[in-house]
Structure 1
Amino acid sequence: MTVVHVETGMHLYGGALQVLMLLRGLAASPGRHVLVCPAGSEIAEAAQGVADRVVAMPVRGDLDVAFGARLYRVLREEDADLVHLHSRRGADVIGGIAARLAGVPAVLSRRVDNPERRWWVALKYRLYAHVITISEGIREVLLAEGLAPERVTCVRSAVDTQTYRPGGDRAWFRREFGLADDEVAVGMAAQFIPRKGHRVLVAAAPAVLAAHPRTRFLLFGRGPEEAAIRSLVHEQGLGDRFVFAGFRTDMAHIFPCLDVLAHPAYMEGLGVTLLQAAACGVPVVGAEAGGIPEAVADGITGYLVPPGDSTALAERVGRLLGDLALRETMGAAGRQHVDARFSVTAMTVLNRRVYERVLGVGSG
């Protein structure tokens, strides 16, 4: 079985990181796995020696017909049995058309829960033999838009629990981000875009600080809303309580040092950063939106709050900050939750099972 994987992300996080973990898992089973990715992308380098072949090529967006032609040639060169389209940008429609022209069945991974128009779903998804969603929440969105249940399978994203684990260096953490010994840290790791809910956390901050004045809020990530959120923080007089930490590649060292992770997103496919934090033993307070309820077991590994409800967010975060034993209990439960439901092995096996189902073959 020869599978061509298409991932168009430039940076090695999110979907691209999931693809790399999948390729590592698949390397232990029979078959040939080829990666098509953008020239200069981080996964192009990281996948060397993991995939059987890495083909790096220009990818210029959703309407890059030349990319489709190049992908078509790779499919023919490899005599591919199946193509797995892991990305939306530049890959889902153009990739599906290239696969159709090459006579190769396509599997699409869907990582976001934003709805699409029913007419577009009916047209676009004809290109794919099967669709994999990273959460049941996304699967329900597609079913509501008219896809047949037998054409959609949930295979949850995975977390490398050997990399993300409890036991961070808190002395380094406090030096790195300028925290005093008596301060507690509430983190949020998300792209600065409206649907991630940074404004909800800023709105919740005064109530949290009223009860726990030695709290610092650390915001990790970057994005178009960052300047607006910085301005909002300063308008609220909270500049000394917030740290804009930027995009970090060492979150596996940072997460274990947080006291609470907040994620008040309005929409979320699953929330891998929530799972990474939970694997590090950190309780999570997330909004009850998209796939977040699959990542956070309410009252067990953290809390769920209504989307946009800054009062509820402040209450739950404050409850955790005021109770070290509760944080430790929920953190340990979070680690167990991730180990049981979000392993790399399970993700690999279930993806391969979809391939075999599409091709009508058995294991081995």
Structure 2
Amino acid sequence: MTLPATDLLALATTIKAWGQELGFAELRIADIDLQHAEAGLLAWLAAGYHGGMDYMAAHGTMRARPAELVPGTVRVITARMNYLPANGNDDWRASEARRLTEPGAAVVSVYARGRDYHKILRSRLQQLATRISTEIGPFGYRVFTDSAPVMEVELATQAGLGWRGKHTLLLNREAGSMFFLGELLTDLPLPVDAPISAHCGACHACITACPTGAIIGPYRLDARRCISYLTIELKGSIPLALRALIGNRIYGCDDCQTVCPWNKYAQRAVLPDFDVRNGLDQAELVRLFAWSEDEFNRYLEGSPIRRIGHERWLRNVAVGLGNALTAGAPPEPLLAALEARRGHASALVREHVEWAIGCGSA
């Protein structure tokens, strides 16, 4: 489709307005030339920092070449959507820090306490594409949200949605980092937006705060040590040397975000989908460990947490219980919960249960 430059400029402006109507905080448009990022991607993969995420290596340079992923792509409409729950604690950063000091508490990453963002963002981006096609007729596009070989942060940075922080996440001056990213790859030659300057300065708060030392330097993350990787992506046994460092974090980790000065500007979600469900902001380890597989699937229906399955859920909570014992929490309910799972059918669960019980006698 060929449109005059003036029409493309007007269309870009209209698309951004539609995006906000659909619940996105901001939309911007990126060029697809990511050649500058390709060497860094390949070096990261060569170092093995992706761990067991084999799909990262399998797609190789395609991540830096959007037109190979979707032939005909010339632009990427990149969008961000705030997810800090509207029904959460007002002083959310202090609340999150406090929960980490309560051994019996089960800490779930803020983004995972509501509905699955993959479905929400994909649905909203599809609605955006439908509006565009209604306006101009059929055009080429594909929608993605954290589910394809797309360098999301790089594209968002290129479009000026923010800058890459030293923890490798995108930062925005008005919203910190508490938002999701999504993309609409398109064959429309829309005018691109300019990147913005970085504003981390000499701050190293995120690097210092990382419990496992996964941020090995500014803009360098070893996923194999990251608690989000260990509790979500890792399919097998959590390395012994890292278990005590996980503390009571049972799904993901927000430490590098909660200490970031820019997150004092984090914005609340406008969609109720990200409201806290099942009391996951105040849950206790013992209660979550008692969930049967049926209860796990029922309570977490529509949640991103369901992707790890009940077996890895029990693995993660067992580690939390072991660390709670080490931290001096009243042992009786914790040990009783662990004993009830000692004969679990899964060798993975049994291994982590035995380790946790051992924490009580250490």
Q: TM-score, normalised by structure 2?
A: 0.23
If asked which structure has higher relative contact order (CA below 8 Å, sep 6+), I would say 2
Higher strand share goes to which structure?
1
Q: TM-score, normalised by structure 1?
A: 0.23
